[in-house]
Structure 1
Amino acid sequence: MSNNNGGWANPSPAGLVALGVACFTFFALLSGRVTAGAMPLLGCWLIGGFITQVIVGAIELKEGQILGGNVFLYFSAFFMLVGGLEFFVKYFAAAQQWSIPLDTRIDGWAWIVLSFCLVLWTPAYFKATSVLTMIVILIDIAVVQVAFLDLGVLSPSFKPFAAYALLFAGILAMYLSAALILNTTYGKTILPLTKPWVKEKTAAPVGNAKKM
């Protein structure tokens, strides 16, 4: 999350809105609320999310935010842009009945890298507000399942578990984006943000330091 030390306004709310759109639309697809006919439209929404998140990632990296900047950067590239383009490819492959069927297991191999990197980075979010920590954990649950679904390791019956993890992550992303905007605009707590799981250590007062 950006702390605005570099003179830029915090771009995280926009990135969270894009994340919420992705979570809700993936929920709709994985849970069967929409058919495969929605895939090209979903691709359009994800490409819009790519534009948003790549800008957010660039600003956060400029401000020295290694965690938020890198997460938004690879979310924008792989989850948004690649994901959006793949929905177009998969839809037209099915519609045109390509003579060589797509082997979507390759997606599973790529998703393993993306999901397990996110899981391994998750403890870094323990120092952020616990709302954000829960968003990341829910996405961890979903993306790991998606990776194994694409590999064929898990049966399609697991899709609802991934779908609802994304739904709840999207709800929390909407709340956090609103809290950041309203609390910053009014300069006080309008929507409360929960405390981090790991607190920063308080430095000893300067006056207590031994004089040289």
Structure 2
Amino acid sequence: MSQGHGTVNPGPAGLVALAMACFTFYAIHTGKVDGSAAPLLGIWLIGGFVIQVIVGVMEINHGNVLGGNVFTFFSAFFMLVTGLELIFKFFAAQNGWTIDSRIDGWAWLALAIALLTWTPGYLKSPLSLFCAVLALDVAVPVVALMDLEVLGHEWHVISGNFLGLGGIFGLYTAWGIVLNSVFEKTIIPLGAPIIKPKQTNTASM
């Protein structure tokens, strides 16, 4: 039921999509499911792309330069490109096509650098969201270095566990944002930002 006509925070939907990706990659990387699941995972990620691109555009329209841009490039590369690649690589393996997939490592390296260099911005976000980003700060560079063949595939357990952790913190943050907004009070504590947002001095406006 509608509670008003104003715009609302779309972040929880994007965080649920992120958690879905983190949980499914956790399952793949830690051997909970085998590689035959890749095409199904690709389809799930394409679904996540739809959610995250909508969230990214809405966040940018709301003036959220950090969250809006992160959701937008996550939607394109972490969701859509990765989803399509998983499906393509599955059929490439079935048909014996030779592919130099180290190119993925170079792409992931750029994404990892972007994420790492933007992370300080999340010091002004709820602590639970900052923890989710920190978990991804470990997982994404590990994925990049594995694709570049700098690290061996035994590092999958590291990337998988940190992706799972990121998914848990993402779901917790989404849970808190939704319930705290609906009930207009703190139901789920998210933790205070490490750097407090600047207070607006209304008297000087």
TM-score, normalised relative to structure 1:
0.91
Q: Which runs of 4+ in 1 moved over 3 A?
A: 201-207
| Identity across matched positions, percent | 49
Measure, in 2, the Cα distance between the counterparts of 1:41 and 1:191.
33
Partner residue, 1:148:
145
Partner residue, 1:136:
133
Measure, in 2, the Cα distance between the counterparts of 1:127 and 1:170.
20
1:96, distance to aligned residue in structure 2 (A)? 1.5
1:205, distance to aligned residue in structure 2 (A)? 7.7
Q: Does 1:52 align with 2:51?
A: yes
Partner residue, 1:210:
none
Q: Does 1:110 align with 2:107?
A: yes
Aligned length: 201
Measure, in 2, the Cα distance between the counterparts of 1:89 and 1:162.
22
Structure 1 residues 56-96: Cα deviation after superposition (integer angstroms, max 9, x where no partner): 00101111111010000000000000000000111001112
Summarize the alignment of residues 15-34 of structure 1 with structure 2, pairs less than 5 Å apart.
15-34=14-33
Contact 1:122 1:136 (8 Å CA) reproduced: yes
CA-atom RMSD in angstroms: 1.6
Q: Does 1:179 align with 2:176?
A: yes
1:200, distance to aligned residue in structure 2 (A)? 2.7
Secondary structure of the equivalent of 1:111? helix
Measure, in 2, the Cα distance between the counterparts of 1:181 and 1:204.
28
1:163, distance to aligned residue in structure 2 (A)? 0.5
1:155, distance to aligned residue in structure 2 (A)? 1.0
Letter in 2 for 1:107: D
Partner residue, 1:157:
154
1:206, distance to aligned residue in structure 2 (A)? 3.6
Structure 1 residues 88-131: Cα deviation after superposition (integer angstroms, max 9, x where no partner): 11100111212xx1111000000000011100000001011111
Q: What runs of 5+ residues in structure 1 fail to find an aligned partner?
A: 1-5, 208-212
Change (3 A) 1:63 1:84: same
* Of 189-198 and 38-47, the range deviating more from structure 2: 189-198
Structure 1 residues 127-170: Cα deviation after superposition (integer angstroms, max 9, x where no partner): 11111111011001000000000000001111101100000110
Contact 1:8 1:59 (8 Å CA) reproduced: no
